[in-house]
Amino acid sequence: MSGRFSVGEKVRVQDWDPPNEPRKPHLRTPYYIRGKIGEIERICGDFRNPEALAYGEDGLPKQTLYRVRFDQTHVWPNYAGPPQDKVEIEIYEHWLEPAAGDSSP
Amino acid sequence: MTDHAHLRHGVKDNHYKRLAIAVRELLIEKGVVTEDEIATFMARMDARSPELGARMVARAWVDPEYKKRMLADGSAAAEELGIAVDGTLLVVVENTEDVHNLFVCTLCSCYPRTILGLPPDWYKGREYRSRVINEPRAVLREFGTDIADGIELRVHDSTADMRYLILPQRPAGTEGWSEDRLAKLVTRDSMIGVSLPLRPDQLDQLEHAAE
């Protein structure tokens, strides 16, 4: 199994917004998590990239998929619950960059 | 059982229903699929129900070794009980004294259909999908589920190739119960994480009401 990140590593989700033209990729990274910093919870394996797969293409090369854990209070500035609450979400590797030097969350 | 009518939003749309029928008829007309294939596939989907997930949960409650395997590899644990998980991978997460889990698909309506059957309408609705990610405790209260402030609440957003199953805590007062009896406590909603499993007295009530 490939993958440039390891479990426990701090990562930032890219704050991309790919244009609609010539075509909007079939994105699986919700807006609310873009630009946020979390920690790799587990490595799920390598999967065909749905951004191209959804258009009937082969989606190769495969992308490593991670589950990333975030503090809710970091994701939502107005979060009403206690500080230990988490959101965990699947993110493909090309959406992640190292965030080891960042102080937040 | 509470009726979550307030969580239902825009999931029935006659336009899309008509579109689906039109596409289906065209696919048959053009020989891409046959009526038989569609009927077989639908029968296969209809045969799936939360009872499959409940069997897995009950087994995990009585067999600690099975539980370990299930938490390490949900798909393999399903297949061990003869339940095929096609295409996606199953991740099982465990509720404990300190952690409560629930899942959602904020982007669309990904759901562990092979383990739980078809999703409830509210699961696919806009309100659940948008609110449960940023005010999960409020949404849980509307389902009648109070999670104490000291417990860590984890929301799992099913965005890609994983599907989720929540392993609820075994209810008190069920010592010595058979696996079949335990499985009756495991509701669909408790495996999504919006409710807790039935207590023995609640199961008694249900069974009396059914008589």
CA B48/CA B85 separation, integer angstroms: 11
Secondary structure (DSSP) of chain B = ----GGG--S---HHHHHHHHHHHHHHHHTTSS-HHHHHHHHHHHHT--HHHHHHHHHHHHH-HHHHHHHHH-HHHHHHHTT----SSEEEEEE--SSEEEEEE-SSS----HHHH-SPPHHHHSHHHHHHHHHSHHHHHHHTT----TTSEEEEEE--SSEEEEEEPPPPTT-TT--HHHHHTT--HHHHHTSSPPPPHHHHHHHHHHH-
Task: Return the pLDDT at B8.
Answer: 46
Gap from A94 CA to chain B (nearest CA, Å): 14
What ipTM was reported for this prediction? Answer: 0.94
Gap from B10 CA to chain A (nearest CA, Å): 21
Tens digits of per-residue pLDDT, B23-36? 999 999 999 999 99
Catalytic residue numbers of B read 105, 108-110
Task: Return the pLDDT at B88.
Answer: 82
Q: Does domain A10-98 have CATH number 1.10.10.10?
A: no
**pLDDT(B163) > 80:** yes
Considering CB atoms only, which of B89, B137, B153 is closest to A44? Answer: B89
Q: What is the mean pLDDT of chain A?
A: 92
Task: Return the pLDDT at B9.
Answer: 46
**pLDDT(A73) > 60:** yes
Task: Determine the residue of chain A that is closest to B163 in CA distance.
Answer: A90
Contact A29 B159 (CB under 8 A): yes
- Looking at residues B109-137, what average pLDDT do you find? 95
- Chain A residues with beta carbon closer than 8 angstroms to that of B158: 90
**pLDDT(A105) > 90:** no
Cα A28–A31–A35 angle (5° rounding)?
105
**A32: phi then psi, degrees, rounded to nearest 5:** -65, -20
Q: What is the mean pLDDT of chain B?
A: 92
Torsion of CA B76, B80, B85, B86, to 10 degrees: 90
Query: Which of B162, B164, B166 best tests the A interface by mutation, with the highest count of A CBs <10 A?
Result: B162
CA B88/CA A44 separation, integer angstroms: 11
Contact A30 B89 (CB under 8 A): no
The answer to which of A9-18, B84-93, B163-172 has the lowest mean pLDDT is B84-93
Task: Return the pLDDT at A49.
Answer: 93
Task: Return the pLDDT at B4.
Answer: 53
The domain locations on chain A are: 10-98
- Topology of domain B49-210, per CATH? Nitrile Hydratase; Chain A (3.90.330)
**pLDDT(B196) > 60:** yes
- Looking at residues A81-104, what average pLDDT do you find? 90
Contact A81 B153 (CB under 8 A): yes
Contact A28 B157 (CB under 8 A): no
- Chain A residues with beta carbon closer than 8 angstroms to that of B159: 28-30, 89-91
Q: Please, where in chain B does CATH 3.90.330.10 lie?
A: 49-210
- Chain A residues with beta carbon closer than 8 angstroms to that of B154: 85-88
Partner B contacted by A35 (CB < 8 A): no
In contact, A105 and A37? CB cutoff 8 Å:
yes
Task: Return the pLDDT at B87.
Answer: 73
Higher pLDDT, B78 or A19: B78
Provide the percentage of residues in chain B whose pLDDT is more than 90.
82
- Looking at residues B158-169, what average pLDDT do you find? 95
Task: Return the pLDDT at B12.
Answer: 58
- Looking at residues A84-92, what average pLDDT do you find? 98
